[in-house]
Structure 1
Amino acid sequence: MSSDGADRRLRSRTSSWTGSQKSAGQSSQPRLASKRAALDDGRAWSSGGSSSSSAVTALSQGKKRAALSSLSNSANVPAMRATVTPKSQIVVTKPKSRGLHEKKALKKVSKPVVKAVAIESVPDKSDSVAEVRVENLESPAVKADPQAVLSLERKTVQSLYISREPKETELQQGVASSNSIDASLKDIDAGIKDPQMCGLYATDIYQHLRMAELKRRPSTNFMEFIQQDINPGMRGILVDWLVEVAEEYKLVPDTLYLTVSYIDRFLSANVVSRQRLQLLGVSCMLIASKYEEICAPQVEEFCYITDNTYSKSELVDMERQVLCQLRFELTTPTIKTFIRRFMRAAQAAYQEPSLQLEFLGNYLAELSLVEYSFLKYMPSMIAASAVFLARLTHNPAAKPWDATLSRYTRYKASELSECVADMYDLQRNIKGCGLPATREKYKQHKFKCVSSLQPPVLAPEHFQDDA
């Protein structure tokens, strides 16, 4: 699809929605051909590079946002680890003999004084935390009050957050009464040398994200109890149009998911008329672009893409309202956040990563953005269901859920049955949804035409949990 053709299509859809007709002699504002980082999942896996824009207008030769000098949030600083001194190397000096007056004063001390603390490493545990053990230095006060010693030791351990037990990996958690881990479980974080993958902290990070998705979750019934002038169908039209905008400007997938999240969170607490619904959509995409993109589109570009229905001042004012409503809490886990992790667990069963499986999971996850009914499911559950259905569609003969996926997603197959069934109907388009943007996007060869694939019939044995 050429740039001019896509431009005319977006502007025609905008004109038909808002009802505004522009005169034939009115000249439209030139738009800036945005530059995007090579973070788009589709472009990263595609075999051929995308062609440059057909024409760069005078606006592109004007002001440009300078790229940040440092784009990484994690500095490449070597990790510093505390040196643990073995017990055998610690020299404890024998206390000198005290005089009679010093011994009498020592008896009056109510709290024991510990002269030295030995830090002893646990043998044969490379990743275990050092164990703190308090040495009894034959102090008369310590002998007189052993409970004080135990209390001091306990407070020391708690203040340093030191555990006496070796920290278990994610694969070892929940495995009780077993000396060996099941061979079917695969450690997807083992052997990762890229520090940006955060293999050592991935378990803790996603445990935090699972809690964060509960805090910043939009309402599941704002259409029934909050909104008065719009309905789920209008929301679907808006999201479908935003998919085309994101594709036209080559925005990264996270920008689209964050945009929909901001829209739903704003609609959960504010009444919006249908005339200002599109203004809310482009304002949320402007905020998400500033958050995710290296070079975000300008305000004038979003005004242009709406066929200049809204002015720059209206767009900036709506941006301020959205930020105040969100209380500037822009960091929120989305479906895309979880599907990255879950897809890695799904790819562990393959000797070579499958691009088709990757694109299929992203396609199913993106389809759920348009449907208002999917707000009742958590983003992590939608991501797990997308991986489940993608594996079933990609390889119907294999079992769609295994022990590795159950371990890393924290969902059993039986818990995903309802969400997978709704996504199955969405994939087959049983309701006859007339919003084609996502389906046409994934019909392209760079996405291996995954939207044309049809899943097999769902069977009850697909949702049976492993014993």
Structure 2
Amino acid sequence: MELEGQWWKGELAEDIYQALRYKELRLPVYKGQSPQLSLRRYFADLIAIVSNRFKLCPAARHLAVYLLDLFMDRYDISVQQLHMVALSCLLLASKFEEREDRVPKLETLNSLGCMSSMNLVLTKQGLLHMELLLLETFQWNLYLPTAAHFIEYYLPVAVNEMDLHDGWPMVCMEKTMLYMSKYADYFLEVSLQDHAFLRFVPSLVAAACVASSRVILRLSPTWPPRLQRLSAYTWEQLLPCVERLLITHDSDVKEANKQKCPQPSAQPAQMVYPIQGQSVSLHQYMQRPNTQYMQQNCQPVVVSSQGPATYLTHTAPMQVSTAPLHGLTQTQSMDAKVNMPSRAYQVNSLYPCFDR
């Protein structure tokens, strides 16, 4: 067994998990006071683009963005310097989380198209100076847990054969686990793009990503006892973070539908959820008790001023060149195809059918 990639399956998994939980209680305080806070999303995307180009692990990407957040929170940095800081954070994180042969090389970084578009050329001396400044800022401590570290511990038990899909037993456990992994990755990226998620501890964000994935996949119960015992979080504790994640998901679904079927004359769509024949807002839906909420169909519907509420339906894949975001596909038949909502910098892809 490769413990390097699957530490949660080893005999020391519980000790590692407890060490991460202990460490997250001592993470530096994030105040959100950077003068360049409005540029934070741009540089998080830049880190994600470079990280995907070199196929770095999620832990390296999340650690890099976290280092950037903490550094920006303490210093007033010019935009030109922020490019150097962001890439230096990624290099430090990759050196800490990845194997040596996977760490991006200076020559390869400078050859990227995004570097030429920014008219930015990195030098060895400049990178070493910035890395030293970062290490001194963090007192040479890069052991900073992120949600990407915890998600690997929750995912192996995120789906169980006893779970129900739309109130029915699951036919294909493997496909359900595949979609759970894909949606958990999606929500993990959502949490990376908004600094508001830094007010939650990383383990809670990871648990909320799993819970949100179960909501979208219509698995019940929404937050089963095994996940509550493992994470030590109740459904009520996860609600604020889950609601924020699902709001972003609904926004991505609406954007995907707007790209697919533009309606200039229509009023902005409002995302609502069906409960026993009634349409309620996401906030009202999330506030229902877990025992009731877990039995409902979690497929969002869209309300338009042009007509009654209808289910969001995609009957054909969207073109990548014109629509960077995918919506969730739901058909009326027993066979349903799921298209992952993806962030703009990610490569869009279609996955096999999710069969009942």
Could you tell me the TM-score, scaled by structure 2's length?
Answer: 0.63
- Structure 2 CA distance for aligned equivalents of residues 464 and 213 of structure 1: 31
Asked whether the 8 Å contact 2:191–2:197 carries over to 1, the reply is yes
Matches for 1:365-444 after TM superposition, within 5 Å: 365-395=188-218, 398-429=220-251
In structure 1, the partner of 2:12 is 201
- Structure 1 CA distance for aligned equivalents of residues 146 and 97 of structure 2: 13
**What's the CA shift for 1:326?**
1.4
Asked whether the 8 Å contact 1:286–1:299 carries over to 2, the reply is no
1:332 partnered with 2:154: no
Number of aligned residues: 250
1:215 partnered with 2:22: no
Asked whether the 8 Å contact 1:346–1:405 carries over to 2, the reply is yes
- Structure 1 CA distance for aligned equivalents of residues 8 and 245 of structure 2: 29
In structure 2, the partner of 1:315 is 127
In structure 1, the partner of 2:61 is 256
In structure 1, the partner of 2:93 is 288
Asked whether the 8 Å contact 1:212–1:333 carries over to 2, the reply is yes
Residue 241 of structure 1: SS of its match in structure 2?
helix
Asked whether the 8 Å contact 1:282–1:302 carries over to 2, the reply is no
1:186-220 CA-to-partner distances (Å, cap 9, x unmatched) read xxxxxxxx9x545443223212211201212441x
In structure 2, the partner of 1:104 is none
Which of the pair has the greater relative contact order for Cα pairs under 8 Å at 6+ separation? 1
Measured on the aligned residues, the alpha-carbon RMSD in Å equals: 3.0
In structure 2, the CA distance between the partners of 1:357 and 1:253, relative to structure 1 (3 Å rule), is same
- Structure 2 CA distance for aligned equivalents of residues 330 and 433 of structure 1: 37
**What's the CA shift for 1:462?**
5.0
In structure 2, the CA distance between the partners of 1:381 and 1:409, relative to structure 1 (3 Å rule), is same
Asked whether the 8 Å contact 1:263–1:281 carries over to 2, the reply is yes
Residue 288 of structure 2: SS of its match in structure 1?
helix
Asked whether the 8 Å contact 2:235–2:290 carries over to 1, the reply is yes
**What's the CA shift for 1:301?**
2.6
Residue 461 of structure 1: SS of its match in structure 2?
coil
In structure 1, the partner of 2:297 is none
Asked whether the 8 Å contact 2:150–2:202 carries over to 1, the reply is yes
**What's the CA shift for 1:72?**
7.1
Counterpart residue type for residue 254 of structure 1: A
Asked whether the 8 Å contact 2:239–2:286 carries over to 1, the reply is no
1:225-271 CA-to-partner distances (Å, cap 9, x unmatched) read xx23x12x310011112212111222222211111121122223222
Counterpart residue type for residue 301 of structure 1: T
1:297 to 104, 119, 122: 104
In structure 1, the partner of 2:180 is 357
Is there any run of 5+ residues in structure 2 with no aligned partner, and where? 164-171, 257-270, 274-281, 294-356
Residue 400 of structure 1: SS of its match in structure 2?
coil
In structure 2, the partner of 1:460 is 287
**What's the CA shift for 1:303?**
3.5
In structure 1, the partner of 2:329 is none
Asked whether the 8 Å contact 2:188–2:206 carries over to 1, the reply is yes
- Structure 2 CA distance for aligned equivalents of residues 197 and 424 of structure 1: 27
- Structure 1 CA distance for aligned equivalents of residues 4 and 178 of structure 2: 28
**What's the CA shift for 1:324?**
1.2
Residue 411 of structure 1: SS of its match in structure 2?
coil
1:124-156 CA-to-partner distances (Å, cap 9, x unmatched) read xxxxxxxxxxxxxxxxxxxxxxxxxxxxxxxxx
- Structure 1 CA distance for aligned equivalents of residues 152 and 8 of structure 2: 11
In structure 1, the partner of 2:168 is none
Larger CA Rg, structure 1 vs 2: 1
In structure 2, the partner of 1:148 is none
Counterpart residue type for residue 302 of structure 1: L
Is there any run of 5+ residues in structure 1 with no aligned partner, and where? 1-70, 75-193, 435-453
Residue 222 of structure 1: SS of its match in structure 2?
coil
**Percentage of pairs with the same residue:** 26
1:288-340 CA-to-partner distances (Å, cap 9, x unmatched) read 12222222111233334322514312222111111111122112211111111
Asked whether the 8 Å contact 1:414–1:464 carries over to 2, the reply is no
1:243 to 43, 48, 73: 48
- Give the strand-richer structure, 1 or 2: 2
**What's the CA shift for 1:381?**
0.9
Could you tell me the TM-score, scaled by structure 1's length?
Answer: 0.49
- Structure 1 CA distance for aligned equivalents of residues 228 and 4 of structure 2: 30
In structure 2, the CA distance between the partners of 1:455 and 1:204, relative to structure 1 (3 Å rule), is farther
**What's the CA shift for 1:455?**
9.8
